Structure 1
Amino acid sequence: MKYFAALSVFLSIFLQAQKISVKGDLSKAVTFTYEDLQKYPVHEVKSIDILNHKMEFKKNLKNLKGVLLKDVLSGVIFDAPTPKELSIFYLVCTAEDGYKVVYSWNELFNTEAGDHIMLITSENGAPASGAKEGITLITPGDRATGRRYVKNLSEIVIKKAD
């Protein structure tokens, strides 16, 4: 029983360890933890194949639960004096290992794609932040899903195009 209690404490600390910072051309930088993500509406993906740029199968992810990236960023205030200027923003999403992918503000908030871009918080019932790949970012609507499959997401930098 003591082992179980110690394991529970360790897991609760470990699960909250991964943080995702959001910074850049914003009124205020913010940081999200695994616990913070639990406050958003949950979306599910039963199964998704991860395909590389050559459309070759890499792996299959099953029973995913997560939150929409646009929901998480909905409270972030972009440094845009007028709504028209939002069209020049883009997001650089970076993994702990330095892998980066890009989304435009319009893609995220003004297309159907934004209704599916997710931060995965659990896979097969296991919390994602306790897994090797941590909280991941997926774009189920992509053809080559592996191109924007970001494992251990650590940072989102909001920028304005010149």
Structure 2
Amino acid sequence: MLSASHSRFKISFILIPATSLQLTYKGVYIQDMLSRAGVTMGSLLRGGNLSKYVLAVCADGYRVVYSLAELDSSFVRDLPIIACLIDGQALNSAKGPLRVIMPGDKKPARNCFQLKELIVRSASN
């Protein structure tokens, strides 16, 4: 579970452009969680490490793959987070308690919810 000791991050984005509905999610950078777990990130993310990816597994069996590069601030402008709050409230049971938010995606399909685990793997194996 996310704790107060983790760095918190807030992201706001328009969920449905036609309605201008804006939501604010709070959570932790996925990059920070991976770094704390010993995954190669930042300036060392090059060469063979670029063949690594993260598999997000959700409670309903939904799975999403993210390359390490798209989770790293040295490659992307808008860092994804694992959110635990929406507009200051805990995510409801249908979407939470944890949800991946990919702020740069045009479609929300990779904003998976009811996150159970993140698995780091290598495509070279």
**How does the TM-score come out when normalised to structure 1?**
0.62
> What corresponds to 1:112 in structure 2?
76
Distance 2:36 2:114 in 1: 22
Larger Rg: 1
Q: Percent identity?
A: 25
- Give SS of 2:36's match: coil
**Which residue does 2:26 correspond to in 1?**
65
TM-score by length of structure 2 reads 0.78
Aligned residues, how many?
118
Name the CA distance, whole Å, in 2 between partners of 1:138 and 1:106: 16
> 2:109 matched to which residue of 1?
147
Unaligned stretches of 5+ residues in structure 2: none
Aligned 8 A contact 1:61 1:123 in 2: no
1:10-159 paired onto structure 2 within 5 Å: 33-35=1-3, 38-49=4-15, 60=21, 62-78=23-39, 84-109=47-72, 110-113=74-77, 115-128=78-91, 131-134=93-96, 135-144=98-107, 146-159=108-121
Unmatched 5+ stretches in structure 1: 1-32, 52-56
Partner SS for 1:133: coil
Q: Following the alignment from structure 1 to structure 2, what is the Cα–Cα distance between the partners of residues 161 and 137?
A: 22
Pick closer, same or farther for the CA change 1:50–1:111 going to 2, 3 Å: farther
Q: Which has the higher contact order (CA 8 A, sep 6+)?
A: 1
Matched residue type, 2:75: T
Shift of 1:117: 0.4
The CA RMSD measured in Å over matched residues stands at: 2.7
| Higher relative helix content | 1
Q: Kindly indicate whether the alpha-carbon contact (under 8 Å) linking 1:137 and 1:148 is maintained by their aligned counterparts in 2.
A: yes
Equivalent residue of 1:74, what SS?
helix
